[in-house]
Amino acid sequence: MVADVGWRYGFSFATAVRTPLGRGMAVDAAWRFPNLLRYGAILFQPQGDGDQIIAHQLTDSSLAEPQIIDLNPDWDVYVAINDQKQAYEDNNGSLDVYLRILA
């Protein structure tokens, strides 16, 4: 579950994002996670040496209806915002991600 989303992808308050779906449109290869949503919250796992990544778009969910994602138990789990490559320096804010591991 993702909650309390409040971050900006630029210095202006007009760049505020309040949902894990970001701006809601898919992006191209110029972005960190192509084909996922612009400025969306992404859960990902680098494979092996990190040259390949398995990425999942996080969605608006609730404790009553959680988002279910299959993960590889042997790989680390990370959360990031889908921004243009090399363009994270102007981002600020936070979001809460609640992760429950089911064996």
pLDDT for 4 beyond 70 = no
Q: What is the pTM of this model?
A: 0.83
In a domain, 102, yes or no: no
Angstrom distance (rounded) from CA 36 to CA 56: 8
In a domain, 6, yes or no: yes
Q: What pLDDT score was predicted for residue 56?
A: 94
In a domain, 103, yes or no: no
Q: What pLDDT score was predicted for residue 2?
A: 64
> What domain range includes position 24?
2-97
In a domain, 13, yes or no: yes
Per the structure block, which two tokens stand in for 7?
Answer: 């971050």
Confidence band for 81, pLDDT divided at 50, 70 and 90: very high
* Number of folded domains that form the chain: 1
Is the torsion defined by CA of 86, 17, 22, 25 positive or negative?
negative
Which segment, 4-18, 35-49, 50-64, is predicted with the most confidence on average? 35-49
Can you list the positions of beta strands (E) in the chain?
2-8, 16-17, 41-47, 52-57, 78-81, 92-97
